[in-house]
Amino acid sequence: MRRDDDVHALVETVLGDGPGLRKVRAVARLISLVESDSPALREVARALAGRAGRAHIVGLTGSPGVGKSTSTSALVRALRAAGKTVGVLAVDPSSPFSGGALLGDRVRMSEHATDPGVIIRSMASRGHLGGLAAAAPQALRVLDAAGCDVILVETVGVGQSEVEVAGLADTSLVLLAPGMGDGIQAAKAGILEIGDLFCINKADRDGAATTRRELRAMLSLTERPDGAWKPPIVLTVATAGTGIDEVVARLDEHRAYLESSGQGRRRRLARARREIEAIVLGEVTRRFAVTSHGARLDVLAADVLGGGTDPYTAAEAVLDEIAAAAQADEI
Amino acid sequence: MRRDDDVHALVETVLGDGPGLRKVRAVARLISLVESDSPALREVARALAGRAGRAHIVGLTGSPGVGKSTSTSALVRALRAAGKTVGVLAVDPSSPFSGGALLGDRVRMSEHATDPGVIIRSMASRGHLGGLAAAAPQALRVLDAAGCDVILVETVGVGQSEVEVAGLADTSLVLLAPGMGDGIQAAKAGILEIGDLFCINKADRDGAATTRRELRAMLSLTERPDGAWKPPIVLTVATAGTGIDEVVARLDEHRAYLESSGQGRRRRLARARREIEAIVLGEVTRRFAVTSHGARLDVLAADVLGGGTDPYTAAEAVLDEIAAAAQADEI
C-alpha cells in the first residue's frame, strides 16, 4: 500500500520535536500499519529501535460497568493539567472490528480530540495467537517514540484479556466498583496478583467502604518480600474527577519504585522476551500455513476427529515435518 | 507421580459402563493430570483417541454479574430431569490457582455434588500461550469419553476469554442481563458473532424487553446465508428456573442444525486443527526453552531494550538458530 520511503517519512515525523497534528496523524498511520500486519511492520520496528523506552506505560483493566472509559478520560485530563503528553491505546482482543470503527464509539474521549498533546488510538486484534501480542507492543513503541510521557492502555469490551494487557504495562491499574461481587471476582481472576494500584470507582455509591475493606483483606493475604511495593487503594468518582489527582500521584510513586528497585527493568526485559517469542511463534505458524503443510494439517485434523490418531501424535508428525522442511531449507 | 499403568487403569474406569462415583473420581484424576501438563497427558490423549465425539459441548460466556453460575446450575438440573448425564468444566484462563481451589468456591453447584450423573471440574491454565488451548480440549475429551451427554464449559472470573471458550464448544450460549450496558458491550466484544443462543437472564428485572429489542436489532445487522442458523433469544430467571427448559430445547435444536447442515463437523475439524497447532507451538516453545537458546533469548531481549536491535530482527536470529538446531538434530 505504501512504500518504505513513506514509512521512513512517517517515522521521521513521529520522532520530530514537540506535539502537533501532523505528528498525531503520522502516529495514527503507523499504528494502522502495525495493526494490519503489513510488511511495513518490520520496517517500523527497525526504524524505532532505540527510540522508545521513555514513556510510563499504564494498563487499565476492570469489568464492564466500573467506568473504565470515564476513568481513562479523567486521567488524561489530570495528566494534561500536570503538563504531560498522553497516549491512549484502547485494545480489544476479541473484536473483529478495525481500530477506526471502535474509535468512533469513544465519544467520551472527544474532549481530547483537538489537543495535540493527546494521541488516542484504538486497536483490534484480528487473529488469535500472537495477534495482540505481536501488534500492541509496536503500537506502544510508536506512541513512546512520539514523545508521550504517559501511555494508558485500556481494554475494551467483555472478552478482555486482563493479564495480557497487564503484561504490556509498567504499572497495572485495576478498576473496581462497589457491589457487583467485584471483590470475589477479583480474587477468582487473579487480578490481585497483577494490580499495582487499585481504584474503587463510583465511590459515592453505597458499599465503597465495604469493597475497600474486602480488597484490603484479600491483598493482605498475598505474601510480599520486604521492601516490595504494596498496591495502594484509591477511591475515585471519575465522572466528577474526585480522587484522580491521587491516582496520578500513586502512578508516579510506582514509577519511582520501578526505577529504584530494578523491578522496572526486569519487567521490561520480560516483556521484550515475550515479544520476541510471540514473533517467533507467529512466524513458525505463518511459514507452516503457507507451505504445503497447511493442507497436511487438515488431513491430520480429520484423522483426529475420526479417532485414527490423537492430537499429540498428529503434532509429533507436524514437528517432524517442520524439522525435515528446515533441513531441506523449505521454510 | 503416577506410572503409565495407572493412566491406563484410570482410562479403563472412565470408559466403563454407566455413571458412578469411581468413574467421577477417575475423571477428576485424569483432568488433574491433563491440567498439570504431566507426561501422562500424551498417554491420556492416546488412550482416548476415537473414544470421544459423542457429547454436545456447550460453552457459556457472559460478563460477571449476569448469573453464569446460577444459570449453569439450573441447566444441570433441567438436563438431569431430562435423563441426561452432564459434565461441567469451569475454566479460568487467568487464574493462577489450581482447579481444586476454585471448585471449593462453587457453592451453588453443591446440590449436584452427590449425583454420579453430574461431573463437575474446575480448571485453571497456568501458562499463557497454549495453556488453556492445550489442556481444555483434553479435559473435554475425558468428560466426553466418560459418557457425558452434554458438557457445559463455563468461564470463571473477570479476565475471561470468551472467544477462546467459544472455540471449544459446539454451541455457544451467551448470557446477558438487563441494563449494565451489556448490549453495547456485546457489540464491542464481538460476542454477537460467536453466540448461537442468547439468554437474557434476570429477566424479571426492569429493562429485559429493551435489552431483547436492542439485541434483536443488532443480530439483524449480521448477514447470514439462506438456511443458516438464526440465534434465538430466551428470557430466563435462573434462580427460579424460569425459561431454562426452553434453553434446553433450543440447545437441542442447535445440535440438530449442526448435524444436518454439516456445520458441526466443520466446527469440530477446525477445533482439531487448532488443537494440533497449539500443541505444535507449545512444543516449539518448550524445546526452545530447554535448549541453550533459552539463555540466548535473554541476551536478545536485553539488546532490544538497549536499542541495539528490534524485536523482529531478534526473532529472525532465533528462527535461524531453530532451523540450524533442527538441521543438527538438536531439537
| ipTM, interface predicted TM-score of the complex | 0.74
pLDDT of residue A188 exceeding 90, the answer is no
Q: What is the CATH number of domain B52-262?
A: 3.40.50.300
What is the spatial distance between Cα B144 and Cα B57, in angstroms, rounded to a whole number? Answer: 9
Average pLDDT over residues B249-271: 93
Dump strand ranges (E) for A183-325. Answer: 197-200, 233-235
Strongest mean pLDDT among A57-71, A313-327, B186-200: A57-71
The cell numbers describing B123, all together, are 480448571
Are B301 and A164 inside 8 Å of each other by CB?
A: no
- C-alpha angle with apex A149: A144 to A150, nearest 5 degrees? 85
Q: What are residue A92's phi and psi, to 5 degrees? A: -130, 95
How many helices and strands, by DSSP H and E, does chain A display?
A: 14, 7
* Domain spans in chain A, listed from the N-terminal domain onward: 51-267, 275-327
Cα-Cα-Cα-Cα dihedral sign, residues B205, B210, B216, B221: negative
pTM for this model (two decimals) = 0.67
- Over residues B2-39, the pLDDT tens digits come to 455 688 888 889 998 877 888 888 898 888 887 776 67
pLDDT over threshold 60, residue A85: yes
High-pLDDT (> 90) share of chain A, %: 28
Distance separating alpha carbons of residues B16 and A149, to the nearest angstrom: 63
Mean of the per-residue pLDDT values of chain B: 80
Backbone angles phi, psi at A99, to 5 degrees: -55, -40
Task: Please indicate if any CB of chain B lies within 8 Å of the CB of A159.
Answer: yes
More confident position, B116 or A14: A14
Question: Is any Cβ of chain A less than 8 angstroms from the Cβ of B314?
Answer: yes
Q: Considering CB atoms only, which of B298, B310, B318 is closest to A49?
A: B310
Record: contact A284-B95, CB cut-off 8 A? no
Residue A4 has pLDDT above 70, yes or no: no
Superfamily classification of domain A51-267: P-loop containing nucleotide triphosphate hydrolases (3.40.50.300)
Amino acid at A46: R
Count of A-B CB contacts under 8 Å = 271
**Average pLDDT value for residue range A113-119:** 82
Q: What is the mean pLDDT of residues B173-188?
A: 67
Say yes or no to pLDDT of A69 above 80: yes
CB contact under 8 A, A41 and B312: yes
- Choose the closest CB to A273 out of B156, B180, B298: B298
CA–CA min distance A215, chain B (Å): 15
pLDDT at A86: 95
Residues in a beta bridge with B29: none
Segment 182-201 of chain B within 8 Å of chain A by CB: 182, 185-186, 188-191, 193
Closest by CA to A30, choosing from A49, A51, A45, is: A45
- pLDDT mean over A183-203: 74
The cell numbers describing B134, all together, are 492445550
Whether B105 shows a pLDDT value over 60: the answer reads no
Confidence of residue A328 (pLDDT cuts 50, 70, 90): low
Predicted confidence band at B250 (pLDDT cuts at 50, 70, 90)? Answer: very high
- Contact state of A158 with B298 under an 8 Å Cβ cutoff: no
Range B278-304 average pLDDT: 75
Selecting from A45, A307, A331 the residue whose C-beta is nearest the C-beta of B49 gives: A307
